[in-house]
Amino acid sequence: MTQHHPPLIIDYLTEGPQRGYSFTTPTHAYSDETIKSIWRNAMPRGQGWAAYIGAKSLKSFVLPDKRIVIAQTEVTDRADESGRRGIRRTQIEVFAPADYRPALTHRLGQFNAGLQQDADFHLAQWRKTAAFERLGPQIKRAHQLIFTHAFSTLADWQVIEVLLLKIAIHPPYALRQFGNVLSFTTLALAPHEESLLTALPADRAATLSKIPSLAVT
């Protein structure tokens, strides 16, 4: 796996003339178009992150130049200048297409066998019920598929990350119509302007209307 440039960091600045979220690492190695795309897409959507301190969200998306981003956001216990907690910090890595799946496979290999087996169980159940094929037309209309799971503990949510990694590495046939690289977000708090494959806590998915979803129970 080769990375042509060092990782980028988006963090929250509480001091100085420009307070708020900003790139805190140099961006000169990237084009303006790339930086705009990363800024627009790297962080998961939604409000109320203070309830998810310690959680991590992994996102993947394709840049205009066809390179692929893998961005990991961590919900910190830091507070902004008004005292609101849940500040997020995102590390962004940019990969050539040939290096993308090896990078995902490496990350998947860091999860224990129990989580892998749990994810495989859900995938097997969806194969039996032809879930992706059944939802295919709806996914095409919405250009999104939501995965829902009760958010109980940080460790329990990891099964979602394993599931989406497995799907991204080996997409089911019914999802291949959406391209060779399936954008995904392993934890968001709102579906709008999110990835093709997006995971939401079950209580955050109650307002879904026309977006197809699969429950991970």
Amino acid at residue number 4: H
Residues 200/191, Cβ–Cβ less than 8 Å: yes
Lowest-confidence region among 34-38, 57-61, 142-146, 204-208:
204-208
Q: Return all residues near 186 (Cβ < 8 A) that are at least 6 apart.
A: 56, 57, 58, 59, 160, 161, 164, 199
Percentage of the chain lying above the pLDDT 70 cut: 98
Mean pLDDT (whole number) for 26-31? 94
Average per-residue pLDDT for the chain = 94
pLDDT digits (tens, 9 = 90+) for 68-94: 999 999 999 999 888 889 999 999 999
Which token pair is 33? 């178009």
Residue 210, pLDDT score = 85
Mean pLDDT (whole number) for 26-53? 96
Percentage of the chain lying above the pLDDT 90 cut: 88
> Is the pTM higher than 0.75?
yes
Helical residues (DSSP H) of the chain, grouped into ranges? 32-41, 97-108, 113-128, 131-142, 154-169
Asked whether residue 206 carries a pLDDT value surpassing 80, the answer given is no
CA torsion through residues 97, 65, 164, 38, sign:
positive
Mean pLDDT (whole number) for 169-177? 95
User: Could you tell me the pLDDT band of residue 49, with boundaries at 50, 70 and 90?
Assistant: very high
Give dist(CA 145, CA 129) in Å, integer. 16
Mean pLDDT (whole number) for 4-33? 90
User: Could you tell me the pLDDT band of residue 4, with boundaries at 50, 70 and 90?
Assistant: low
Mean pLDDT (whole number) for 96-102? 97
pLDDT digits (tens, 9 = 90+) for 104-115: 999 999 999 999
Angle subtended at Cα 90 by Cα 182 and Cα 34, rounded to the nearest 5 degrees: 60
Asked whether residue 6 carries a pLDDT value surpassing 90, the answer given is no
Which token pair is 104? 């995902």
Closest CA to 80 of 24, 12, 23: 12
Which token pair is 39? 């800024």
Mean pLDDT (whole number) for 3-11? 83
User: Could you tell me the pLDDT band of residue 2, with boundaries at 50, 70 and 90?
Assistant: very low
Closest CA to 140 of 191, 170, 176: 176
Residue 61: CB atoms within 10 Å: 20
Number of residues written out for the chain: 217
Give dist(CA 217, CA 120) in Å, integer. 13
Which token pair is 93? 């890595």
User: Could you tell me the pLDDT band of residue 147, with boundaries at 50, 70 and 90?
Assistant: very high
Torsion, Cα of 14, 18, 21, 24 (10° steps): -90
Residues 20/13, Cβ–Cβ less than 8 Å: yes
